[in-house]
Structures are given as C-alpha cells and as structure tokens.
Structure 1
Amino acid sequence: MSNTIKIAEKYFELSNQSNMGEIGKMFSDRSTYSSADTGVYLGIDQIINMMSNFHASFSKLSWIVKGIKELRPGVAEIDFVFRGITKAGQTVENPGTEYVIVFDDKIQHIEVRSK
C-alpha cells in the first residue's frame, strides 16, 4: 500500500472520530481545501476552523469509504458516502468523491465533489 493511500485512509479515520488536533497535523500552512458545499480554504487554521464548524453542526456523522485508489503518485481518489444526523435531527446522506493530494507526507490539497 502506498504512503498516499495510507495518509488518505488515516485522514478519513480521523474525520470519523472528529479528531481535529490530529487532522491538523496532516496539513501544512500552504495546504488548500475546496468543496462546492463549504468553500475554498488556505492553511491549517482556515481548514480546521471550517471542519470544526461542519462537525459541530451534526450530532452524529461518518464517511463510509466505498473505494480508494491512487490515480498517480501523490493523488488519491476516494469514493465515499457521507451520513450524518444534524443537530435538528435531520438525516443526511450524500455520496461523493474526494481527491487527496499528498506531498512530503502532508496533505497539500483536498477537493470534494458531490455525485
């Protein structure tokens, strides 16, 4: 298993635990994050702030990985289904694809695409 795949899997594992402290260690100050649902972010502080707010809006959430592959060195493609229950009690289920780009053992970029 490649290091890129290991890092992407760890990121999803930590996301399912809402472990912002450990997730933050996976990024650099130059990392970027892009999602049509949440916006575009630069650096650890912006990314973790967005993620913390997103996680806080749910009483329960998880990402179920349906498939993961390395498209080319440093680029992982993850097919997933997001499931959550909002604080208001609404059930949410959204499939998507996430691209995790890794360089020097840090996540350089994440792009989330809804299906």
Structure 2
Amino acid sequence: MAGSTADVENEIADAIDTLGRVRAEIGKVIFGQERVIEETLITLLADGHALLVGVPGLAKTRLAETLGTVLGLSEKRVQFTPDLMPFDILGSEVVDEAPDGQRSFRFIQGPIFTQLLMA
C-alpha cells in the first residue's frame, strides 16, 4: 500500500507543477485577470462550462484562445447573429458527386464538434 500512496503523491505533485506552467504561459498573454484565469482553469479541470460576461476589451476571447493554445485543445467560435441557423452550429449534409455520376451524402461538422467552443 505504501507504494500506491507514493504514486498518488507523485501524480499530485506533477499535476500541481503542470498547472503552474499552464498559469505561467497564460500569464504571458493575459494581464491582470488572475482570478478569471484561476476560475476558468478550475472549470476546465472539473469538466464544466464557463460563461465569461463583460464589456468589450476585457480579453474574454483572448483568454479562451490562449487556453486552447496552451492546453492543445481544438477551438472554434460561433458569432451569434439574427440569421444564425441550427446547421451553422451543428453542421449539414452535402451531396458529393463522383466522376462516374454516383451521388452520396457527406456530413460536414459544424463548430460544435470541438473541444473548446466560444459562443
């Protein structure tokens, strides 16, 4: 049992070290938003969702983009407009035609099929 406790302690120490490096990398891009960064990282670690609300210029989009870059996540953005349709988010089926004239449907994924969605 003593070996397994040591393994867990090593994993925790590695996680803390990694989290510190992630904070440092984000801190190179985002200034003065330590609490927002901390709470956003907690949200990601807890496999949750975050809603960042604020006036323009507070680096909300920049934070999300930086998180995606630092953590190696695929990221997409949806700009909500009055004419936004469900297929703009989900994707759609398109018809492909082969040189021999045969047709088939192909699904093109929308931006929701990503690890980090900015909406």
TM-score category of the 2 structures, normalised to the smaller one: under 0.3
For CA contacts below 8 A with separation 6 or more, give which structure has more relative contact order.
1
Give the structure with the higher percent strand: 1
Rg: which structure is higher?
A: 2
Structure 1 length-normalised TM:
0.25
